[in-house]
Copies of this chain bind each other. A is one copy, B any other.
Amino acid sequence: MKGYLWTGGHGSPSNPDAPVIEGRLAPWEAIAVDAVGNVIEFWGFKRNQGRVWALLYLRGEPLTAGEIERELDLSKGGVSMLLRDLERWGVIQRVRLPQDTVWRYGAETDLVRMVRHVIEEREAGFVARIRADLAEARRLAEVAGQVPSDRLERLEKMATLAEHVERALRLFIKTSRLDVSGVLAVFRDGASRRNER
């Protein structure tokens, strides 16, 4: 969790040559951004994906890649990849302002959808494979013959357990969808609907 290292510090002298636009995160922003980063990391994503989304969301208006790079102290290449991931997942949106020549990126409000989506995907592929493996093991054990029946039984139970865990997981996803949809509504009400395109 290196993110917490620089929440206190970051005392780099403001570069006089840097573009005048606030080159640096406010402390409260840094904390919030890192908090989201930690959550997102917890869910199996990259910490910086969460930080980027959080920054965009907090700012409320689209930023350029360069701005993100400066604010979060990331590398150019890194920002590019992070933005691509986030865009692919539909949690940020790439916009080009009429008179402008550069892309800007704005946060969609449903980070949750991304988490849910990837969890679903992971779960789908992963749990399917586990079940397939256990089924295969069972098949092999039967074919091999001379496997004590109590061991076969235990194998069977293992498969049962896997199925139940899978069910619980699906239920969770459904649940969270329901529970969170209310929050999303809240998000949409606010004064943050300035997504020009």
Contact = CB atoms under 8 A, between A and B. Distances in A.
A183 B165 CA distance: 9
B31 A150 contact: no
Determine how many copies of this chain the complex contains.
Answer: 2
Interface residues of A, number: 64
A103 interface: no
Nearest to A34: B133
A171 interface: yes
Contacts of A180: 161, 164-165, 168
Contacts of A161: 111-112, 180, 183, 187
A112 B165 contact: yes
A155 interface: yes
A27 to B, nearest CB: 5
Interface stretch (A55-63, A75-83, A90-98): A55-63
Given A60-B151, A154-B60, A158-B57, A28 B191 contact: no
A190 interface: yes
Interface string A135-162: 0111111001001011101110110111
B144 A164 contact: no
Contacts of A153: 190-192
B162 A179 contact: no
| Closest 8 pairs between A and B when the two form their complex, measured CB to CB | A28-B140, A35-B133, A172-B172, A28-B141, A168-B176, A32-B137, A31-B137, A28-B137
Given A39-B162, A154-B192, A171-B175, 13 more contacts: A10-B133, A10-B136, A26-B144, A28-B140, A28-B141, A34-B133, A35-B162, A57-B154, A153-B190, A161-B187, A168-B179, A168-B180, A172-B175
